[in-house]
Amino acid sequence: MPELLQGPELRARVDEVLRAFVRQETELLVAIDVQLEPVAEQLRAAVAEGKRLRAAFAYWGWRAAGQPDSEAMVRAASAMELVHAAAVVHDDLIDDSPIRRGVPTAHLSLRRTVADGPEHEAQGRALAMLVGDLLMSWAGQLLAACGLPAAYLARARPLWATLARELIAGECLEILRTRATPDAESSLEIIRYKTAKYTVEHPLHLGALLGGAPPALLAVFTAYGVPLGEAFQLRDDLLGVFGDPRRTGKSNLDDLAGAKPTALLAHALTGAIPADRARLQALVGRDDLGTAQLDELREIMVRSGARTRVEEMIGERAAAARTALARAALPPRAAGALADLVAAATARTS
């Protein structure tokens, strides 16, 4: 078949893999009992949309290792999107977020499927937790059955354990540090483990290991992937407060009401004048924030220099990723795709 290299074409291939896989698995689930259909619906919704950046990084990690285009590798790369879907469902559950991609989150949707009563909220949350758990299980299942030789898959097995451990560590650190006074370094540690590694570095390593890459290439992907992953999440943090909800699909109040220990908040607290700092401390973490309070918090974050500083941090990390890429002797197509992915990960509005 002809080689499909451009972002939209690769994304379409990943979408098709995920549609077929999820259709098969949800049919098997509902065959157990038709009462499971609302759970199946949330599983389908969790995987239905996405930029497919994690799959793209995994695919181009494989290509950078000198391997040809491969349908089996596209299936393996698609497993990373199931990891992401699981993380999103669990994250929304932890944060009690009401909206994701412009629609109610899984735990709110599933709450409506259980009988009214004192336990219906807990039951909805429990069902969402199980949706996230099954998505993570599916990720390993899709990778194992992707069609690559067993010897190739064995190369990546230790990484899969590392990915899960570090992702959970990042989530735990965010929970443990929420509502504590944030500082920039602590926020970056959370970013690194909760998002950066499983978004960029680990997918790249997955593809490279499956492709038999030498340690030197893995080192290149760490030098490129960690700063780029951090930049990706820093952009998310800015969009979470300053983005257009019609594009982000999320409320601008989630991080502020939840007192998330973001670098944006850390720099705002550090750079604000005393009166603004006191106002930040009074507003952040309240669950009754509205439009007026959001506007006030945005103004403080701009006045304090926090918004500008986070933009600078994104630029610094994107530049570090480009430098790491420029110093590596990668196949031209892979180098070009990874260069394009720097912009895709950092210069975005959703």
What is the per-residue pLDDT across 254-281, written as a single tens digit (0 to 9) for each?
A: 899 999 999 999 999 999 999 999 999 9
- Inside any domain, residue 2: no
Residue 219's identity, in one-letter code, is A
What is the per-residue pLDDT across 24-36, written as a single tens digit (0 to 9) for each?
A: 999 999 999 999 9
Only one residue has tokens 């199946």, namely 40
Rg of the chain on CA atoms, in Å: 21
Share of the chain above pLDDT 70, in %: 97
- Inside any domain, residue 86: yes
pLDDT at 225: 98
Structure tokens, 65: 């290792």
Rounded CA gap, 286 and 301, in Å? 17
Helix H, strand E, coil C: the string for 103-165 is EECHHHHHHCCCCCCCCHHHHHHHHHHHHHHHHHHHHHHHHHCCCCCHHHHHHHHHHHHHHHH
Rounded CA gap, 150 and 50, in Å? 29
Q: Picking from 20-29, 83-92, 242-251, which range would have the lowest pLDDT averaged per residue?
A: 242-251
- Inside any domain, residue 197: yes
What is the per-residue pLDDT across 110-124, written as a single tens digit (0 to 9) for each?
A: 988 876 666 778 999
Only one residue has tokens 């999107």, namely 81
- Inside any domain, residue 104: yes
Q: Which of 11, 89, 79, 103 is nearest to 50 (CA)?
A: 11
Using the predicted structure, report yes or no on whether residue 1 has a pLDDT greater than 50: no
Using the predicted structure, report yes or no on whether residue 54 has a pLDDT greater than 60: yes
Mean pLDDT in residue range 142-159: 97
- Inside any domain, residue 130: yes
Share of the chain above pLDDT 90, in %: 85
pLDDT at 350: 84
Q: Picking from 16-20, 51-55, 175-179, 321-325, which range would have the lowest pLDDT averaged per residue?
A: 175-179
Q: Are 106 and 46 in contact (CB under 8 A)?
A: yes
Q: Are 348 and 234 in contact (CB under 8 A)?
A: no
pLDDT at 120: 79
Using the predicted structure, report yes or no on whether residue 11 has a pLDDT greater than 50: yes
Q: How confident is the model at residue 349 (pLDDT cuts 50, 70, 90)?
A: confident
Mean pLDDT (the chain, rounded): 94
Using the predicted structure, report yes or no on whether residue 68 has a pLDDT greater than 70: yes
Structure tokens, 171: 């989530």
What is the per-residue pLDDT across 293-343, written as a single tens digit (0 to 9) for each?
A: 999 999 999 999 999 999 999 999 999 999 999 999 999 999 999 999 999
Q: How confident is the model at residue 2 (pLDDT cuts 50, 70, 90)?
A: very low
Residues paired with residue 99 on neighbouring β-strands, in sequence order:
104
Mean pLDDT in residue range 75-82: 98
Q: Are 342 and 324 in contact (CB under 8 A)?
A: no
- Inside any domain, residue 210: yes
Number of domains observed in the structure of the chain = 1
Q: How confident is the model at residue 6 (pLDDT cuts 50, 70, 90)?
A: low
pLDDT at 115: 66
Rounded CA gap, 170 and 321, in Å? 22
CATH number of the structural domain spanning residue 289: 1.10.600.10
Query: What pTM value is reported for the model?
Result: 0.94
Using the predicted structure, report yes or no on whether residue 3 has a pLDDT greater than 90: no
Domain that holds residue 339: 7-346
Only one residue has tokens 């630029």, namely 315
Q: Assign 3-state DSSP to the chain and report helix, strand, coil percentages, each to 5.
A: 75, 0, 20
pLDDT at 4: 41
- Inside any domain, residue 244: yes
Mean pLDDT in residue range 136-156: 97
- Inside any domain, residue 308: yes
